[in-house]
Chains A and B, each alone.
With several copies, the nearest count.
Chain A
Amino acid sequence: MDKRIASLAEAVADIPDGATVMIGGFGGSGAPIELIHALIDRFLATGSPKNLTVINNNAGNGHVGIAALIEQGMVAKMICSFPRSADPRVFTELYLAGKIELELVPQGTLAERIRAGGAGIPAFYTPTSYGTDLAKGKPVAEFEGRAYVQERWLKADFALIKAELGDHYGNLTYRMAARNFNPLMASAAARTIVQVSRAVEPGGIDPEQVITPGIFVQGIVEVPNPQQEEVLNRANAYYPEVSA
């Protein structure tokens, strides 16, 4: 019942080479920077994990967080809606060099595919992308005179997400727009690891205010005062730090 994990290193220790990993956040808001950096630390120390498939709305910004993960060569494939950012060079250069794969998914379809993965819905129909290049090869069907595209669920081996409060059972709240993809990814991964800004006892979150019930969470690690990607990028930060 107690899902607390003592350290960031331990929290990411089980992610194997080739894993599919959902990473929460929309741009920097809700991005679990410390969990991502712990994964990089492990890779630098052990050479693993690599060949990851990463699911996130974006493909990194600057040289921290997901951008740093990509920059280390740990990511074989990105599944995202918007691989652009203020500073998308890391992804862009690898992509144009053919060294990283991209599956581009409309943002609402990405969200719904993840939700479907968590909800046991293997496929659903959406009007989104009908008649466009992103619908190529997908089944289409007509309902009530309108055309729709069939989309498949998206699941992951691991989800790395960021929450505000987390109790020992894994019940979570989020902070403002940092909620975004985090609750969906929590539901769609075999193992969901959460960095919470504050760990509380069971009962420390009003049951009305729980956004992610603990049933979707396998591990929580407390990271007080987490870093914001936007702030790091404005300071031109690199991870790991580049020696001057």
Chain B
Amino acid sequence: MTTKLSNAQIAWRAAQDIADGAYVNLGIGFPEMVAKFQPPGRQAVFHTENGVLGFGEAPAPGTEDWDLINAGKKAITLKPGAAFFHHADSFAMVRGGHLDVAILGAYEVAENGDLANWSTGPKGVPAVGGAMDLVHGARRVAVITDHVTKDGKPKLLERCTLPLTGVGCVTRIYTSLAVIDIDNGRFVLREKLPSLSFDELQAVTGAKLHLDGPVADLIVPEI
């Protein structure tokens, strides 16, 4: 019995909502994994902030070209029909609303769509990268995340407590337990693990879960 999805399984689920031909930016780290799970017959075009559209998977170790990297500074390869451009053009794509989807990680997401994913507070070195641009640029901003923090606290909240990345920007959250839309300032449950009751899910969610139509079973393959 699945008690929670692995990161790969969360990424798989998020990938199912990406249409053929969509232009997609995946945040660095965990979200990059979404690219691996494009459904057969669909081809998305992946954008990376540092100036590449249409890149493919990582090259074989030892064959890296360090002038060809993604925003996470990992080596990538090109697909036919790729293009290079400078950073201002790259963020024109982002800010100008040309990306169909951005999928990002999160420290916290609030029911009003606020996202916190860049700073855990005043300690340490702050680093923001392109996250603040992406959340106000892509037509659809989705989050993939474990449903709770490592010590079991809710990451889905009434209001974020950490410094915000963006205001009212997230519209869908793929978690290790559920798929939740943000609609008019409310968390609306769309899918949940069949092994989990609504009340169990509500208990690990920091804001009220609303229902708007049937809740589907969140079923993903073993990966």
Contact = CB atoms under 8 A, between A and B. Distances in A.
B198 interface: no
Interface string B67-85: 1110001000011111111
Given A81-B127, A95-B125, A215 B23 contact: yes
A132 B83 contact: no
A84 interface: yes
Interface residues of A, number: 76
B86 interface: yes
B128 A82 contact: yes
Contacts of A214: 45, 53-54, 81, 83
Interface of B is mostly: loop
Given A92-B125, A120-B96, A134-B132, A182 B23 contact: no
A208 B91 contact: no
Interface stretch (A47-55, A66-74, A173-181): A173-181
Given A29-B66, A118-B96, A108 B130 contact: yes
A175 B92 CA distance: 21
B191 interface: no
B133 interface: yes
B50 A180 contact: yes
B66 A83 contact: no
Nearest to B165: A132
Nearest to A117: B96
A235 interface: no
Interface string A150-168: 0000000000000000011
Contacts of B88: 111-112, 114-115, 119, 184
Contacts of A168: 81
Interface of B: 20-21, 23, 43, 45, 47-54, 64-69, 73, 78-99, 114, 119, 124-133, 136-137, 163-167
